Amino acid sequence: MNLTVSITPTPTILLDIYGKGTLIQCCGGFRSLGSSRLAPARPPPSATMSDEEHHFESKADAGASKTYPQQAGTVRKNGYLVIKGRPCKVVEVSTSKTGKHGHAKCHFVAIDIFNGKKLEDIVPSSHNCDVPHVTRTDYQLIDISEDGFVSLLMENGNTKDDLRLPSDEALLVQIKDGFAAGKDLVVTVMSAMGEEQICALKDIGPKWFPWDPLFYWPVIAQITSNT
C-alpha cells in the first residue's frame, strides 16, 4: 500500500502598506486575498486518453485579441489604427470623392504611439481596417535601477520589473527628478499589440511611512497645544 503525503506551506497574512488590501504570502510570493491568480493544481492525465488525442491553440485566435475590425469610413481623428503592423494614433483623415469604381478612399495620417514615427495609409472607406486595443494602467513607482528599468507596484502586491524608463526626454526628466526628490509617483503604462511603454506621470505628493515620527508630528503638536 502506497501512502502519499501532501504538505502545504502555512500562509502568512500581511497588511499591504500601500493601501491595496490584505496580502497573503504563500509558495514564495504575495497574492491578494481577492485575486484569482493562484491557479488550481493541474489534474492528472486520464488513463484512457489516447496518445493520438492532441489539443492545439489556434494562432489566429491568439492574435485576434490584439486588434478588432472597423470600417475605414468610421475611423476619426484621435482614433487608433494599425498601419504597416504598428499601432498608431490618427492625427489627420481625409476622404476622396466616390470614383468610377464606386469606392471613396480614406487617407490616414497617423503617429506610432510607441516610437512617434509618422505613417500614412489609403483604404477604401467601405473596407475594414485593423484597430488596436489600447489600454492604460496606473502603477506606483517603487524604484529605478541603474540600467534604466523601473520597478512598479501592481494591485496584487507583486512588482512589475520589465519596463524601461520612457524615451520621451521631458517625461524622463520629470520621473527622474521626482524620484530623486523622494516624491510618491504614479506612472501610466500604455499597452497595445504586445508592447508597453510609460506614457504619463502623476505626482501624488511626498512619500510618508507610518513608522516615521514626523508623520505624527502635527497630531502631537495639536494635542500639546490643547493641554
The CATH number given to whatever domain includes residue 200 is: 2.40.50.140
> Does residue 87 belong to any structural domain of this protein?
yes
Mean pLDDT over 104-117 rounds to 95
> Does residue 224 belong to any structural domain of this protein?
no
pLDDT over 60 at 4, yes or no: no
> Does residue 9 belong to any structural domain of this protein?
no
> Does residue 24 belong to any structural domain of this protein?
no
Both 177 and 161 in one domain: the answer is: yes
pLDDT over 80 at 81, yes or no: yes
Q: How many domains does the chain contain in total?
A: 2
pLDDT over 60 at 148, yes or no: yes
The boundaries of the domain holding residue 114 are 67-132
Domain-ending residue, one of 112, 132, 152: 132
The predicted structure's pLDDT at residue 12:
44
Mean pLDDT over 87-111 rounds to 89
The predicted structure's pLDDT at residue 173:
94
The lowest-confidence range among 2-11, 164-173, 217-226 is 2-11
Mean pLDDT over 120-148 rounds to 95
> Does residue 123 belong to any structural domain of this protein?
yes
Both 127 and 166 in one domain: the answer is: no
Which carries the bigger pLDDT value, residue 224 or residue 182?
A: 182
The predicted structure's pLDDT at residue 13:
43
The predicted structure's pLDDT at residue 164:
95
199-202 contacts at long range (C-beta below 8 A, 24 or more positions apart) = 199/136, 199/166, 199/171, 200/136, 200/171, 201/171, 201/174, 201/175, 202/138
Both 164 and 192 in one domain: the answer is: yes
Q: What percent of the chain has pLDDT over 70?
A: 60
